[in-house]
Amino acid sequence: MLRVTNMQRSIDFYTHVLGMRLLRQKDYPEGRFSLAFVGYGDECDEAALELTFNWDTAAYEMGSGFGHIAIAVSDVYAACEKIRDLGGVIVREAGPMKHGTTILAFVRDPDGYMIELLQEK
């Protein structure tokens, strides 16, 4: 689960820029929050990412416990090019990892969360 500061902006990023689908979304007016679940496939078969928008919170601190979300892609170089073309921010260009051969890159979502793109093996 990620806490986000603008639900539509985050849904747009995860669906349009990273190619996920909006799986479900619901507002909870009594609790003053909204939830959206995004992913690459149905939740019964694949993992989903929960986005939480607390209506009365303007910003969050990242915290030291969170590292990043990792997503395997077929071509990291092509994924970076597409993400950049769609307005996404590439933080670390595609290339081999330090002290290894795995090809990876990092992008930042609209709230500053880091997403690692890993070359599928």
Domain boundaries, the chain: 2-54, 69-119
CATH code matching the domain that covers 69-119, chosen among 3.30.70.1400, 3.20.20.70, 3.30.1490.20, 3.10.180.10: 3.10.180.10
* pTM assigned to the model: 0.85
Q: Is 79 left (phi over 0), alpha (psi -120 to 50) or beta?
A: alpha
pLDDT at 113 over 80: yes
The class level of CATH for 2-54 reads alpha beta
- State the pLDDT at residue 62: 82
Q: Which positions are catalytic?
A: 116
For 4-45, write each residue's pLDDT tens digit.
999 999 999 999 999 999 999 999 999 999 999 999 999 989
And the tokens for 23?
A: 């799986």
For 74-85, write each residue's pLDDT tens digit.
999 999 999 999
What one-letter code names the amino acid at 41?
G
Asked if 2-54 and 69-119 have one fold, the answer is yes
- State the pLDDT at residue 45: 92
